[in-house]
Amino acid sequence: MAVHSRERPSETDRTTSNEPSSTTSGVIVAGGFSERFGDQEKALVPVDGKPMLARVGNAVAPAVDELVINCRAEQRPAFERALEQSGPALALEVRFALDRSDERDQGPVAGLRRGLEAVSGTTAVAVPCDLALLEAEFVAQLVGEYDRVTDTDAVVPYADDYSQLLCAVYDVAATQIACERVLETERRRLFDVLDHLAVTTIDDVESWTDPRRLRAIDTPDALAACRDEY
């Protein structure tokens, strides 16, 4: 894994960049079983009056040309209804990349790979369905940074002592291969995908966004904290 740590660029700090993709795709990974939310479907839990899936769609849509939702087949009808509450996303082509039967218990690596298989672009913004506080401006900044830097397969923010692997911009072809290699292992950890990519890490996330907006709302306690803070 080659890691290039970068701070937010100044207007005069320019390098030869990646060629911008003719199509930048958004991939929302939403096929998990939401076990920590009990019997609730996490993606449909409302935050400030909108399902989390709709809020994430709103944040990603302005920076991409198409939106792909990875989920299980039985989730699709409810997710389609939820996206009707996601204004900007409705202006895009929205497709569903449904988990195959052999992928249902393989975790987010399988979901990411399945989503990337369905995109038409060479660059993809990957996010989970539970980043309900994600802001469109931050997503646009990540895409801009990916287009600007050189020799990288991924731009990944580092916040709260973690690489935010599902709030990142990826080269589609390289990341598909990386996911396939990780899925051949026993652990199938999302973090291991980075071992097969050249990664640019965003270390100064605080100057881009409030890091709390990158926290997954994946438990009832996290949901309560989100509602208290925002």
The enclosing H or E element of 98 equals: strand 93-98
For 167-184, the pLDDT digits (tens) are: 999 999 999 999 999 999
Query: Mapping DSSP to helix (H, G, I), strand (E, B) and coil, where does residue 132 land?
Result: coil
- The token duo for 68 is 């792909």
Q: Which residues contact 211 (CB under 8 A, 6 or more apart)?
A: 159, 160, 205
For 49-107, the pLDDT digits (tens) are: 899 999 999 999 999 999 999 999 999 999 999 998 777 766 788 999 999 877 666 78
Give CATH for domain 2-8+22-229.
3.90.550.10
How large is the average pLDDT for residues 111-136?
A: 96
| Separation CA 63–CA 83 (nearest Å) | 17
Query: Which of 221, 218, 225, 207 is closest to 158 using CA atoms?
Result: 207
pLDDT averaged over the chain?
86
**pLDDT at residue 193 is higher than 50:** yes
| Whole-structure pTM value | 0.86
Kindly list the distances between the CA atom of residue 67 and the CA atoms of 33, 62, 117, 177, in Å, as whole numbers in the listed order.
21, 10, 13, 21
| Separation CA 124–CA 169 (nearest Å) | 6
Contact 66, 119 (CB under 8 A): yes
**What pLDDT sits at residue 104?**
65
